[in-house]
Structure 1
Amino acid sequence: MSLSSSEPLYVWNSSVVSRLECSLSSLRKLDSSGLRSAKQHTLFDAHGELNERSIRNLDRSSALLLSSVKRLGSDWKTGVVPKDQLGVIVGTSFGSISSTVNFTQDSFTESRPYLVNPAKFPNTVMNFAAAQAAIWNGLKGPNATIAGGAGSLFVAATYGQRLMRSGQASGLVVGVSEESSPERDTIESAAREQHTEIIEGAASFLVTHKPNVFDQSRPQAELRLWRPVQAARLSDLQYSVERWFRDISLSQTSVGEPAVVTAVGESELCDAVLGHVGVEFGSKRTVKLGWEGCSLGAWGGGLALSLALDNLAADEPWLIITTDELHQTVTAALVSPA
């Protein structure tokens, strides 16, 4: 497992849409019952967030993503970078699984298979949310969706980095979105063989591969990404953690040793990763975003990166680790001040 590139990505703007109070102190106090209470009593209002356009045919996952992109602000829309050089890359688990299930069900239960609502068909395409984000904001650059499980944000960002390095885009909106629905909860529970509830949310980030793309502004942070690793064996996991810190120490930019480690996951795999991290550099501040019986799904990495950006201090990089028990994969990213 090695760095995907010796050069960092630059993060300019960020936004999160969630039912949770996304502050470090609040999340540290939350337990599983608190998460379920927030899920029941704090509702995402798509009409209130996206009131300037019709949302009748939007699924929940797309509405969450569009709301987070809207909150990125308007500085990046001023024309400094042509819109045909700005693209959208989205990470997800399944897209809108409820749209797919309901559309398929209608084809079996209606009197004729073709008596389905054709306006709902686009929602079954996994790239629907990314496409809508581009349409709503007039972005004509590359547009793609990557299903990367818990590490979706960093897998999508790695793909976006390759696009920018090859000259296909000057900047990208990289986002993640995860909906909460009975269908999505059922799939997660069946895969884990225990009742699991999805805590929905979305996060978006404006990233570039150069630090001077936007005039009269500077990026919030630098983001270094490692390639995902299969962690089926603990020896592989230990080697990967050792490699992370070797890459950090050999970094030509001297970003320094991580001061905070954020781990996303609620499984034994997450605990195993944190155990190896502790062996590597001892006791550091640790933030674990994982609760029994609940899952952040694909947007957990987005929440972790947003927390890092909000709390980043000079000379205190954050190491973010996402663990995916279902696919036995681990992703890692280092966030440091720009």
Structure 2
Amino acid sequence: MTASSSPPAGLRRLPWLLLAIAALLVTAWGALALWFQLSGGLAIAAIAAWCAAGLAGTVTLWRAGRVRHRRAVIASTMLAVFVMAGWWHGIAPSHDRQWADDVARLLESAVHGDQVTLRNVRNFDWRTETDYAPRWETRQYDLRQLQSADLYLSYWMGPHIAHTLVSFGFADGRKLAFSLEIRKERQESFSAIGGFFREFEEVMIASDERDIIRTRSNARHEQVYIYRVKASKAQLRAVFLAYLEEAAKLRHAPAFYNTLTSNCTTVVFDLARQIAPGLPMDYRLLASGHFAEYAYDQGALAPGYTYAQLQQRGHINARATQADADGADFSAAIRAGVPGISSPQSQGTP
């Protein structure tokens, strides 16, 4: 090949530039993984060594030099990545940790025909976010009395991120809410970034609404919205049992929470897809604060209203606060005026 036919120097360096960017990204990922998995001096030493090696490789790939030398850097970098991948693969989820009180127990279920017995249903009395009376209960439900489902979104970090829950209503007025949550250890707090790096296990909580909804609206002062789900009794039963199956899977095989792929919103979508396989993927499955709008577009919420109307009338915080002041039935009070529910006592689907 003549000099005139040789590729431009910039083009010849492009593959090395891409490799340098890849090395930099891998270095950043590994540093975060070490930060969230290790602690103290060990974490600092491991991160320093990893970053030194990664940055040296990145700089070498970026700079001009002999190809043979670059190949040696690539080989050493791949070896470091292989070691990191082996360590990462060896990190296993566990049920054997010192858990925070509100996620200390795992839901157990026994289904015999239409009769369901649930153990470890949470029903804490929350006075503040940190002041509470713990209470775990055993409850029985008759699936023939299952009449409604409501979708809750609780906004805790701006308009685009929300915690997603589903609550089932029975003919006797009882409500049971399911929520996939991080399983925090004592003295541990949630980190969205840590959720990408196996910092938390996950747990399926079944709870009384006065616990799991009220703690968000009244104790944590998150902005909470309720939407009546449009579903047949057969669909309600299928999703209810699917939640129990998901809880049983987690009880037998612990799993890590993942901010992107395994969280409170993706589990609702995955379970809904069991009864409606055609549900499309959508960016709002990641931007969980918009999940109710996604459900609306799929025709899954109370018909006859705009989404703005459903959202405005589904905001529960004022009613939740007033229910505390009046000593009223919490679940009935927060449903007053919600589209698809004809009265505070109505349990039926629209």
TM-score (normalizing by structure 1): 0.23
Larger Rg: 2
Q: Which has the higher contact order (CA 8 A, sep 6+)?
A: 1
TM-score (normalizing by structure 2): 0.23
